[in-house]
Structure 1
Amino acid sequence: MIQKKKIPVYSIHNLVQESQRQTGLQAEYFSSYLEKHYEHLHQPHRHSFYHMVLFISGKGRHTIDFDRFEVQPFQVYGMIPGQVHSWHFTSAIKGYVVNFPDHFFRDFLFNPYYLERFSLFSGVSTEGVFRLPARLRKKVPELFEALIETASDPDAPPDISRVLLLQILLLINSGVAEYASESIPEQKKLILYNLRRLIDTHYKSIRLPRDYADLLYITPNHLNALCQDLVGQTAGELIRSRVLLEAKRLLINVNKTVTEIAYELNFEDNAYFSRFFKKYEGVSPDEFRKQFIK
């Protein structure tokens, strides 16, 4: 019989020191972070906060929403609240970690959606992993060092930490732009960004691309062409991927039955959900769960 367990969700208050709870920012060397929390980090878990890591050296792998990445020097990882991930290291690790709540920049920038302009925090695992170009491999670690020093000083104004973290994010984003094959018009970026937000909100109840096109005030053909152009997938594939991702997240919480998950995801019945899952994942929901637990 499978022992029932639930994927834990860690809040920023579980991790930060008392002096840091006002801002909720945690910035420290990854080696010390790992020493304190490895018991939890190597098991799949979620955060209720934004999470960013820069590796300087070491080997291992990082799994984010069931995509696996090999750790490399000067690699940056960014994750948003709710993503499932785990670490597995095979050598000593050197780097930096920063955790902060979703309201960290809100009052400072008067823009609740500011972080969503950074691909590092798109919520798509493959977009949340980036290797710094050579020109940033000195400057960005220096800023992490300054952020750790400021965050650990109880007398330092919180806005200094916000400015330092904002510098880090803007520099990383400039590096991401360097690797883009061509400049993408802002209007196209905005449509994709709004589509992803709509899918994230309505994927349980809205499954047809034409309904999302209506919400975006564009034609279905325009929506599909834009998705193919920017991410190499149709709008239908983006919707389906989001449903499958949530199905996987729910399946690794073994306290839910497959029937309950099918109902939660708004499928007609368990059989339809199982056929859908197996068609695109190659295994049944029960087989996926058993493989994950094993």
Structure 2
Amino acid sequence: MSIRNMDFSYATPDMQIVLKLQALIDMHFKRQKQGDYYADVLGENVFRLNRLAFDYLGKTVYELIYDRVLEEVERMMLGNVVSSMQEMAEDLGFSGPDYLFSYINKVSVRLCSTSTLAKS
């Protein structure tokens, strides 16, 4: 399914961008984990896209992608969807389990640091 076929006419122009962003992340998060990709597809710059995402959803584009990856990891593990960690990593666009876990750890530390700084 393409976002061009989705009807977002009920929303404000800015909200339409955010809804399209969420739809794009759901469609492409396994292969596209960079905010630049989504900004290019939507014809926006990353700064504006991050601002809109944060204003409407309270998260940056990177955080939305990370959350979607984690959601899929949980779904795969709890639903016994994959037979091995290697299969899960490959399905999510990583070279192997080490890269998947490294991504999760790196982003978790980054988000925790950002959250801690924001509170102080």
**Shared fold, TM over 0.5:** yes
Question: Structure 1 residue 261 and structure 2 residue 88: aligned?
Answer: yes
- Pairs within 5 Å for 1:98-113: 113=6
- Post-superposition shift, 1:278? 4.5
Q: 2:34 aligns with which of 208, 218, 227?
A: 208
- Alpha-carbon offset, residue 272 of structure 1: 1.4
**Amino acid corresponding to residue 83 of structure 2 in structure 1:** K
CA distance in 2, matches of 1:186, 1:250: 35
Equivalent in 224, 232, 237 of residue 63 of structure 2 = 237
Q: 1:191 to 1:260 in 2, by over 3 A?
A: same
Cα distance in 1 for residues equivalent to 2:43 and 2:105: 34
Partner of 2:54: 228
Q: How many residues align?
A: 103
Unaligned runs of 5+ in 2: 110-120
Q: TM-score, normalised by structure 2?
A: 0.75
Alignment deviations for residues 199-236 of structure 1 (CA, whole Å, 9 cap, x no partner) = 11111111110110000001111101111111111111
Greater fraction of residues in strand: 1
Tell me if the contact between 2:9 and 2:16 (Cα under 8 Å) persists in the aligned partners: no
CA offsets 1:121-142 (integer angstroms, 9 cap, x no match): xxxxxxxxxxxxxxxxxxxxxx
SS of match in other structure, 1:268: coil
Q: Normalising by structure 1, report the TM-score.
A: 0.32
* Amino acid across the alignment from 1:245: E
- Alignment deviations for residues 31-66 of structure 1 (CA, whole Å, 9 cap, x no partner): xxxxxxxxxxxxxxxxxxxxxxxxxxxxxxxxxxxx
Match of 1:186 in 2: 12
Identical-residue share of aligned pairs (%): 30
Alignment of 1:112-127 (within 5 A): 113=6
RMSD: 2.4
Amino acid paired to 2:91 = E
CA contact (8 A) 1:247 1:261 kept: yes
Match of 2:104 among 253, 257, 277: 277
**1:195, 1:212 within 8 Å by CA — same for their partners in 2?**
yes
Stretches of 4+ aligned residues off by more than 6 angstroms: none
- 2: CA distance, partners of 1:251 / 1:117: 37
> In 2, are the aligned partners of 1:251 and 1:258 still within 8 Å (CA)?
no
Larger Rg: 1
